[in-house]
Amino acid sequence: MNIKEIKSARAGDSYYKIDHPSGLTVFVYPKEGYNSAYAIFGTKYGSVNTCFSLDGGEKITVPDGIAHYLEHKLFESEDGDAFARYAETGASANAYTSFEKTCYLFSCTGKFEESFEILLDFVQHPYFTAETVAKEQGIIGQEIKMYDDSPDWRVMFNMLGKMYHHHPVKIDIAGTVESIAEITAEKLYQCYNTFYNLNNMALCVAGNVTPEQITALCDKLLKPCEKHKIETFFEDEPYEIVEPYVEQSFPVSVPLFNLGFKENAEQPLNETELAQTDILLELLASSTSEMYQQLMDDGLINTTFSFELFEGPGYRAVIFGGESREPKQAAEQIKSYIAKVKAEGLSREDFDCARKSVYGDAVSSLNSVDSVANTVIGYHFNGNELFKYIDAVANTTFEDVQNRLKNMLDVNNCTLSVVKNGEEK
């Protein structure tokens, strides 16, 4: 078993990476003096993994929403529900499915080892029957309808639907009522046995724990898995968007908008590219930026305004969004500002402020056990490492960010999605 300490002289912190004999990659981030612990156990399997092969075999296509469905079902066993077991230890537990991964997690201030055993036990022991699968269809069907009634959810997926021609990122993570009706116990086991192999998974524990403690528990609770080659297939996705505008009527008091700039996504961004992108977006759109102040002064946005890099296997976009009484005007002003800085260049003073802000946020996040654990596991699945990212932020130059801007934010390749009250003109 290989245990490697990963240190950051810059941040004055360290954590451990353990290549466990079972095939699982385990990260332990001890936080001396902390009373709490947080554990997250994830698999590199999300809603976009609907067409795949195992060990070079035939392509397998499964219904949309099956990864999310599997996450729900995994909490159940013949002996009851994992949440009931956590209630006895006092841990707070949850799970989520995103486009690219599924994660199970808990936090606690006591009885850590008992809660940790529950986590590794239920995730490794699926129990699906025709009866329990059928019962879940109604529950998840209601969840899908609830998201359909959420303006925040709809403004995003309407945008993705008009940005992406073929990529499954445009499909709701939970699928549709029609697609989940096709899910069977056999298909759930097929996906589980493919993607819930320990070689395709990772575990991160942060807080009042030690690497020796976690290693001993993993030795006790994990059984070796044979490594397999998993390949996910996507249709070729053009660089160009589908449509530049989409609108939906919704009973909202203030219209919502998402403006998404579609990017090339042949390879995931490395730590250096991530750092440059984060600094650039902070420079352009944070609450201290010139663009933000102009939009606020003109009454085109409010404090709900946000921005993000949206990235995963086969997709990447930069999204600006929030509430606006004039969403089309807000979008045009954002595009005009981006075109202006592309033509005239960025401000060195603004760059210095943005880099300090991104660096400060990255270092301060190390004080949060849940933030650390989620970041470490997310970076791992993308082939990146947390401390390398922090170093990259510190080492990024003004010229790096200026060059990054040249390859991003194509104002001729973006989609505006608006959700507004149907009575408005």
How many C-beta neighbours within 10 Å does residue 54 have?
A: 16
How many C-beta neighbours within 10 Å does residue 340 have?
A: 12
> Which pLDDT score, from 0 to 100, does residue 287 have?
95
Report yes or no: 231 and 50 within 8 Å, Cβ to Cβ: no
pLDDT digits (tens, 9 = 90+) for 278-288: 999 999 999 99
**Angle of CA points 95, 20, 11, to nearest 5°:** 75
CA dist 403 and 323 (Å) reads 31
In this structure, which amino acid lies at residue 113? E
> Which pLDDT score, from 0 to 100, does residue 136 have?
82
> How far lies 58's CA from each of 14, 188, 195, 230, 231, in Å?
43, 18, 16, 11, 11
The residue among 282, 420, 301 whose CA lies nearest residue 361 is 282
> Which pLDDT score, from 0 to 100, does residue 423 have?
62
Catalytic residue among 5, 32, 58, 71: 71
Helices assigned H by DSSP within 125-222:
130-148, 151-163, 177-180, 185-195, 211-221
Residue 228, class by beta-carbon neighbours within 10 Å (0-12 exposed, 13-18 middle, 19+ buried)? middle
CA dist 344 and 334 (Å) reads 15
pLDDT digits (tens, 9 = 90+) for 58-96: 999 999 999 999 999 999 887 778 999 999 999 999 999
Helix, strand, coil percentages in the chain from 3-state DSSP, rounded to 5 = 45, 20, 35
In this structure, which amino acid lies at residue 128? F
**β partners of residue 9:** none
Spell out the domains of the chain, with CATH numbers in brackets: 2-232 (3.30.830.10), 245-420 (3.30.830.10)
The residue among 250, 362, 264, 258 whose CA lies nearest residue 301 is 258
Our separate counts of H helices and E strands in the chain read 15, 17
pLDDT digits (tens, 9 = 90+) for 320-358: 999 999 999 999 999 999 999 999 999 999 999 999 999
> Which pLDDT score, from 0 to 100, does residue 76 have?
87
Whether 71 is catalytic is yes
Say what the pTM is: 0.94
Q: What stretches in the chain show pLDDT beneath 70?
A: 423-425
Angle, helix 66-74 to helix 185-195, in steps of 10 degrees: 90
